Amino acid sequence: MKRVLSGIQPTSDSFHLGNYLGAVKQWVELQDGHDAFYCIVDLHALTVETDPALLRKRTLASAAQLLALGISPDKSTLFVQSQVPQHNQLGWIMECLTGFGEASRMTQFKDKSSKSGADSSRVALFTYPMLQAADILLYQAHYVPVGEDQRQHIELTRDLAGRFNSRYGQTFQLPEAYILKTAAKINDIQEPTAKMSKSSGAVAGVIEIMDSPDANLKKIKSAVTDAGREVTFDAVEKPGISNLLTIHCALSGRTIAELENEFAGKGYGDFKAAVAEVVVEYLRPIRTRALELLEDEKHLLDILHQGSAKARTVAEATLADTYKNLGVVL
C-alpha cells in the first residue's frame, strides 16, 4: 500500500466548510487503499505568537473534528507532531541541507513575512518548510495530499530528499504532491469571489463546523446574493448563487442542473433556506460527535497517544538510518 502523509495546523477553534471540502473530506477518502498518516502540526503553529491555553484547546479541537469528520484511528495514524520528537531532529538535518537562497525563494515565506515585516518575522517562519520536509520524509510518504499553495514546499522536500540520498546513500522515499481536487471550491458567502478563509474573510462569510446549527442557519440565510432572481449557475454574473449551488451539491450529492430545475420560478429566499437546511443537517451530527469527543478528554488523549506511538516507531527507524548514513556515532 502506498503511504500518504498530510498535516494541518491547529490555528483555529473550528475548521470551516472550505477546509472540509477542500482537504479533510479527501483525506477521509484516501484512508481506504492507502497507509495514511495525518499530523496535527502544532510546532508549525508556533511560528507566530500563540497563547498557551488556545494552542492546547485548538490542538484538541482539531483532533476531535478530524475524528468526527471521518478520520478513523483504525484506518489511519492520527497524531500530534510535538509528540514525535524526531520531527525536530530531522528538521535540523533538513536545515543543514538547505541553501539560504533556496529557502528565501519560498513564496509562502515571502508572503507571510512581508505582511508582518521581514525583521519582525520569526526565524522559524523561514525554516518552516524544512520542518515540513522532515514531517514528510520521516514517514517515507509516497503522496502528500495538499492544496496548490503547498506545491513549492513539496518540491523543496523532494529536492532535499534527492540531495541527501545522492550524498549519503539511499535514505528517503521521494514524495509526490497529490494536489487536492478543487472541483468543489468553496467561496466566502459574503464575498463570493474570494475563497472561504478565516484569515482574510469576515466571520459572517465563513461557515464553521463547530458553530451552532442556529448560527449557521442565520449566516446562510443572510448570504449575499446577486442581481436578478433566477437560481442559475453563472460564476461571473452570479457568484453568490453559484457558490451556494456549489455548497449544496457538495453536501447533498445533487447536481447543479437538478437544483436549477427544482428552484425554477422560485426566489432566492427559498433557495437559501434549502441550502441552509442541507448545510445545517450535514454538520449537525459532526458537531455533536466532536463535542462528545471533547467532553471525554482522557479518551481523546488516548487516541492521540496511540497514534503518536505508532508514528514514533516509523520515525525512529528513519532517523536512525539518517544518522547512520551521516556518520553520527550511535
Tell me, yes or no, if 112 is annotated catalytic: yes
DSSP 8-state secondary structure symbol assigned to residue 40: E
> Cβ 4 to ligand TRP, closest distance in Å?
9
Residue 41 sits in the site that holds ligand TRP (CB under 6 A)? yes
Q: Are 187 and 17 in contact (CB under 8 A)?
A: no
Tell me, yes or no, if 195 is annotated catalytic: yes
Residue 12 sits in the site that holds ligand TRP (CB under 6 A)? no
Tally the C-alpha atoms within 13 A of residue 139's C-alpha that lie toward its C-beta. 31
Q: Please pick, from the candidates 16, 44, 158, 248, the single residue that binds ligand TRP as defined by CB under 6 A.
A: 44
Give the range of 1-9, 56-64, 90-98, 184-192 binding ligand TRP by CB under 6 A: 1-9
Q: Which residue's CB comes closest to ligand TRP?
A: 7
Cβ contacts of 162 within 8 Å, gap of 6 or more: 174
> Cβ 194 to ligand TRP, closest distance in Å?
18
Site mask for ligand TRP (CB under 6 A), range 110-139, x = bound:
----------------------x--xx---
Task: Tell me how far apart the alpha carbons of residues 174 and 226 are, in angstroms, rounded to a whole number.
Answer: 47
Task: Tell me how far apart the alpha carbons of residues 162 and 166 are, in angstroms, rounded to a whole number.
Answer: 6
Q: Please pick, from the candidates 63, 71, 137, 146, the single residue that binds ligand TRP as defined by CB under 6 A.
A: 146
The three cell numbers locating residue 54: 488556545
Give the range of 142-150, 208-216, 228-236, 275-283 binding ligand TRP by CB under 6 A: 142-150
Find the catalytic residue in 2, 75, 185, 195. 195
DSSP 8-state secondary structure symbol assigned to residue 38: E
Side by side, the strands of the sheet bearing 3-8 are 76-80, 35-40, 3-8, 143-146, 176-179
Q: Which long-range contacts (CB under 8 A, 24 or more apart) does 225-232 make?
A: 225/268, 225/272, 229/267, 229/268, 230/264, 231/259, 231/260, 231/263, 231/264, 231/266, 231/268, 231/271, 232/260
Helix 151-168 vs helix 86-97: crossing angle, to nearest 10:
80
Residue 150 sits in the site that holds ligand TRP (CB under 6 A)? yes
Residue 191 sits in the site that holds ligand TRP (CB under 6 A)? no
Q: Please pick, from the candidates 6, 12, 98, 127, the single residue that binds ligand TRP as defined by CB under 6 A.
A: 6
Tell me, yes or no, if 218 is annotated catalytic: no
Residues recognised as catalytic: 112, 195, 198
The residues of the shown chain that bind ligand TRP, judged by CB under 6 A, are 5-7, 9, 41, 44, 132, 135-136, 144, 146, 150
